[in-house]
Amino acid sequence: MNRPYRCFIAHDLDPDNRALLRSGALSLVLHHDLSADLRRSCHALLQAHHLLPDAPHSLPSNIHPITPHNLPT
């Protein structure tokens, strides 16, 4: 459509996306804590197999928007 883009958004704060944020090629990265997601998933599986109390339930991932201005060191 030959339109200029105002921003570029990516997913996961890996080394490549960190470099792209620093250079200004990316505007925003949607980052989430994969280890926390895995921990919650394992917990729900254990609950589903009655190895932990309570019924399993899903929780949304905490997504953190990362920009060049709040990029962690």
pLDDT tens track for 15-36: 999 999 999 999 999 998 888 8
pLDDT of residue 15: 95
Three-class SS state of 45: helix
Confidence of residue 60 (pLDDT cuts 50, 70, 90): confident
Q: Model's pTM, two decimal places?
A: 0.67
Closest CA to 48 of 37, 58, 56: 56
Cβ-count burial of 47 within 10 angstroms (0-12 exposed, 13-18 middle, 19+ buried)? middle
Average pLDDT over residues 42-56: 92
Pure H helices in the chain: 15-23, 34-48
